A and B are shown apart, each in its own frame.
Chain A
């Protein structure tokens, strides 16, 4: 997150909301892009809109990773 926002890591508290971090909509789509790449998951547009903070984001990624582990054949192709 710190690298993505070009901030020192100590300025990105783990419980921060995206608003507190000063993220705009472009930062948001870039972050989604990088998370999808990093974890090889696909994030639904509507679900992504509900995520407003780092804890919610981490939780969301964990849910998707669990879903992937349970049904790997259903995961959409990513590269």
Chain B
């Protein structure tokens, strides 16, 4: 099996429009949760979100491109461009011909969909803009990346709600590990701030009216986020041979399904995903030093995840530092796992583990070593990034320091 290196990272998020800005915020414990600006919140019970600040598509795309893109595809392409640039990989014809693009997206082109359907239902218009379909299709991000980069190998989009990008990155990892693809661009993107979708989230009663405080006694829900995060994966040997900067090795991937409830998580499903990621990478559980938790900050997720971690690691749990960076970049649904993978890998690379921001007092029902508010200097050999979706579809990625 081919070992797989992460050599490029691209991020556009509420806490930074580039990877260095994203890392700067993470390492400072700076949250990007602010009043929502791109949607009218006057009829909503919650007002805060983690939006990309002062975003203008025309800063990145010409008029003709911008016409075909939804906001979520723009984020996908912006992150992919940065990741590829960051990798300093010179694409050969063979890489382009076999290169994979695998993205995660949960709600697809909501911004365009909401706008067009509002025209039909509220303003009695008789038709939609002719580019509505190519804008809203969930695979648009992957398609535009493959078009721009000239990647002609496997290209697809996975949609597993909050785990979307983890499933995408896991499968891209397997494509490179098996030799099916010589290189992969993988991650996720999302732009969920449209009124219709926000009203739907409001009705679920899981969104915080204030901010996201994972693992805290006074946590009161999740905060929605948006953006794009992509990575370049290539064979470790090839990366070493060309003298590339290697952030970390992507070394294990595990998936599971709760097979129980559409929204209420089990502990068995998440623990199976973690165990399978460890088995997939041949990883000794006692060498895991950090877990970037799913950590949504909802009543149900956090204690369930804590119990699942203890089920897998037993007494070693006390030696594992845990944080939820959703407290800073928000819960980006289809992009969440990619942002968290980026946070994990950057933390390993910089030997500084990102914290859980907005932290007050730990919930006594949660027995984890939570990194609170301030980043923690630490060298870890292995780290995990967890993603557990509505619908009980779980995915865990495992990384090794290089």
Contact = CB atoms under 8 A, between A and B. Distances in A.
B126 A79 contact: yes
B63 A6 contact: yes
Nearest to B134: A26
B89 interface: no
Contact of B129 (A33, A76, A78, A79): A33
Nearest to A28: B130
B67 A77 contact: no
Given A6-B63, A6-B64, A26 B126 contact: no
A79 B125 contact: yes
A79 B124 contact: yes
B279 to A, nearest CB: 47
Contacts of B123: 79
Interface residues of A, number: 11
Contact of B131 (A6, A29, A36): A29
A30 B125 contact: no
B235 to A, nearest CB: 38
Contacts of A29: 130-131
A32 interface: yes
A32 B68 CA distance: 16
Contacts of B124: 79
A33 B63 contact: no
B133 to A, nearest CB: 10
B231 to A, nearest CB: 31
Interface in B313-360: none
B126 A77 contact: yes
A77 B126 CA distance: 7
B67 A30 contact: yes
Interface residues of B, number: 12
A35 B211 CA distance: 47
Interface in B47-91: 63-64, 67-68
Contact of A26 (B63, B68, B125): B68
A30 B132 CA distance: 11
B130 A30 contact: yes
Interface core residue of A26, A32, A36, A76 (most chain B CB under 10 Å)? A26
Interface core residue of A32, A33, A76 (most chain B CB under 10 Å)? A33
A64 B126 CA distance: 18
A76 B127 CA distance: 12
Contacts of A76: 126
A26 B134 CA distance: 10
Interface in B128-167: 129-131
Interface in A21-53: 26, 29-30, 32-33, 36
A27 to B, nearest CB: 9
Contact of A33 (B64, B68, B130): B130
A36 B123 CA distance: 17
A29 B129 CA distance: 9
Contacts of B129: 33
A26 B65 CA distance: 11
Nearest to A79: B125
B61 to A, nearest CB: 13
A1 B68 CA distance: 19
Interface of B: 63-64, 67-68, 123-127, 129-131
23 contacts: A6-B63, A6-B64, A26-B68, A26-B130, A26-B131, A29-B130, A29-B131, A30-B67, A30-B130, A30-B131, A32-B130, A33-B127, A33-B129, A33-B130, A36-B127, A76-B126, A77-B126, A78-B126, A78-B127, A79-B123, A79-B124, A79-B125, A79-B126
Interface of A: 6, 26, 29-30, 32-33, 36, 76-79
Given A79-B123, A79-B125, 11 more contacts: A6-B63, A6-B64, A26-B131, A29-B130, A30-B67, A30-B131, A33-B127, A77-B126, A78-B126, A79-B124, A79-B126
